[in-house]
Amino acid sequence: MNFLTAAPHFLFFTGKGGVGKTSIACATAVTLAAQGKRVLLVSTDPASNVGQVFGIAIGNHVTTITAVPGLSALEIDPQQAAQAYRDRIVGPVRGLLPDAVVKGIEEQLSGACTTEIAAFDEFTGLLTDADLTTRYDHIIFDTAPTGHTIRMLQLPGAWSGFLDEGKGDASCLGPLAGLDKQRSQYKAAVDALSDPQRTRLVLVARAQPSALREVARTQQELTAIGFANQFLIVNGVFPAGEVHGDPLAMAIRAREQSAIADMPAPLRTLPFDCIDLRAFNLVGLEALRQLLTPTATLEPAQAEAWQAPAARALAVLVDEIARDGHGLVMLMGKGGVGKTTLAAAVAVELAHRGLPVHLTTSDPAAHLVETLKGSMEHLTVSRIDPHAETARYRQHVLDIKGKSLDAHGRALLEEDLRSPCTEEIAVFQAFSRIIREAGRQFVVMDTAPTGHTLLLLDATGAYHREVARQMGAGMRYTTPMMQLQDPRQTKVLLVTLAETTPVLEAANLQSDLRRAGIEPWAWVINNSVAAAHPQSPLLRRRARNELPEIDAVATRHAVRYAVVPLLAEEPVGVARLLELGRRS
């Protein structure tokens, strides 16, 4: 494997959600430890499942993986980091200031911006911790999906510049108080990240045009901020020896090879590895040890016997949704499970019935326009673009608050609005604005991967609590969180694959939503091999492995569910999206 050759001290694995970053990062850690290296594996993903892969509880402290000599692991828990950060800020004033003032400070520190800063604080601490650097030969970072990783890598420079220029206060929701003392730590983190002798960035993608375009954008963004030592892995490629005349396998193999041959030009200059699709789930030590080794071809005689699952098509769920005439439909789940495609399929099905539909996304890596590949009557499409929304918010504040300021005051306000925290407020306002439309039409929202969606919901909850505090008892009001909690107005569809980790992730998300008072309405199992009736031995073995996960969704997790089969042709364009929704 090229990406393992002369591995430096820091290795970062990043890419679009669901491409296999965690499995490859874990397999890399196991491989380096087997070579006698001392290795620390760190997850910075809000939806981390490193512990699930190894079958042990890890959490927010360095944990020895006893089954792998030389390997330790750590999961940065954003919520725990944020709570510790809040305690550091609020602790010294508790008991000194009135309770109402302390409560107001705590509410200001409850937003997603505080969570991001706190997690980033721990991230930079790991990069610059002299004890860790000495103790371990390699520190491997399993990062959050692409958009959040770019944000994380930009933050050391963004916050260093922000502090150097003396900016900030009013546009942030209170989290800047502890940053100035970290100035030298952030500079050291920037230096480490941009040093090719110390840091290697491994871009992980699937052999799909959209995934490769996304990773090409990531490559260019990383290069632009000074991180040039990059490698490419295309994961889960269907092996040539596993086709065995199966039409589905032949179609998958052909479209993957076409995507690799036509990958964007910037990616062709990178050192490049392919990792074969495996018949087994990538959970457990033995599976990790096999991931980076050549595969053995399965013979037709080894094909596994199984019975295809019985389930409703996605269109049957849409029939029930359509009866209300309007409302918010949110598709949530782990990155890479196909939320964008399924959101488009739901929107197309509703529009096909003559219902007005607004299809939108809060995922920075979404490709709604590419998925639709055209337009149709009754359907409008939009995207919550963080950069555009932030620019709009800044201009609005300048127009309103800056109108009466002198030149010096306006300059100070403009500096304040360059705070990285401003984006949190802008995106939340855009989210709130769009969901209000669901009172008169259908709004179908393709959300960002799990962790980022929960951060957005945190901001929604913080706003709700602040409104409730200010309005007091007896006052009538409606907040976005109240709309999300009302099943008559909002239907949440949890999207998963029929694999161990995505199902566990969706179940955890369901628990988080329930704690927020939001009850998921249905589950959708996407890209099911078992529902596609394959003939290839590799696909039949994968189909057999899906059945316990489908049963778990049907019997333990979901009130209602649909199973969408893996298709020979990618579901791109209105016609294929309609077909996708009606297949079962």
* Residue of 15, 17, 20, 147 marked active site: 20
Whether 567 and 249 have beta carbons less than 8 Å apart is answered as no
Query: What is the per-residue pLDDT for 173?
Result: 35
| 231 DSSP β-pair partners | 202
Domains of the chain: 2-292 (3.40.50.300), 314-385+435-582 (3.40.50.300)
Radius of gyration of the chain (CA): 24
18 part of the active site: yes
Q: What tokens appear for 429 in the block?
A: 């306002």
258 part of the active site: no
Q: What tokens appear for 286 in the block?
A: 């033995």
* Residue of 28, 45, 142, 584 marked active site: 45
Q: What tokens appear for 558 in the block?
A: 């979901």
List phi, psi (to 5°) of 22: -65, -45
List phi, psi (to 5°) of 489: -105, -30
CA 220/CA 426 separation, integer angstroms: 25
166 part of the active site: no
Query: What is the per-residue pLDDT for 186?
Result: 67
Identify the three-state secondary structure at position 528. strand
Helices (H), 226-338: 247-261, 265-268, 285-291, 314-322
Identify the three-state secondary structure at position 524. strand
Triad 495, 440, 483: Cα angle to 5°: 55
Triad 23, 16, 460: Cα angle to 5°: 110
Whether 334 and 450 have beta carbons less than 8 Å apart is answered as yes
CA 239/CA 548 separation, integer angstroms: 25
52-63 burial string, b = 16+ CB within 10 Å, else e?
bbbeeebeeebb
373 part of the active site: no
CA 92/CA 96 separation, integer angstroms: 8
Q: Residue 244: left (phi > 0), alpha (psi -120 to 50), or beta?
A: left
For each of the chain's 584 residues, which pLDDT tens digit applies?
Answer: 889 999 999 998 988 777 888 889 999 999 999 999 999 998 876 556 677 778 778 877 888 998 899 999 988 776 777 777 778 777 777 887 787 777 777 766 666 566 666 776 777 777 778 888 889 999 998 876 555 555 555 555 555 555 455 544 434 434 444 555 466 676 777 777 778 898 899 999 999 888 898 889 888 888 887 788 899 999 999 998 888 889 999 999 999 999 999 999 999 999 999 999 988 777 777 888 888 887 655 555 455 566 666 667 999 999 999 999 999 999 988 877 888 899 999 999 999 999 999 998 876 656 777 788 778 899 999 888 877 888 888 888 888 888 888 888 887 777 667 665 676 677 777 878 888 888 899 999 888 654 455 555 555 555 555 545 554 555 554 567 778 888 889 999 999 999 887 898 899 889 888 887 889 999 999 999 999 989 999 999 899 999 999 999 999 999 999 999 999 888 888 889 988 888 76
Query: What is the per-residue pLDDT for 8?
Result: 93
CA 347/CA 359 separation, integer angstroms: 6
* Residue of 15, 16, 17, 18 marked active site: 18
| 528 DSSP β-pair partners | 565
581 part of the active site: no
Distance linking the first and last C-alpha atoms of the chain: 39
* Residue of 14, 16, 17, 21 marked active site: 21
246 part of the active site: no
Whether 41 and 72 have beta carbons less than 8 Å apart is answered as yes
Whether 456 and 361 have beta carbons less than 8 Å apart is answered as no
* Residue of 15, 16, 22, 490 marked active site: 22
* Residue of 341, 450, 501, 584 marked active site: 501
Q: Which of 340, 322, 315 is nearest to 330 (CA)?
A: 340
555 part of the active site: no
* Residue of 23, 453, 536, 584 marked active site: 23
List phi, psi (to 5°) of 117: -65, -40
Residues with Cβ < 8 Å from 258, sequence gap 6 or more? none
Helix axes of 574-582 and 339-352: crossing angle, nearest 10 degrees: 90
CA 181/CA 160 separation, integer angstroms: 11
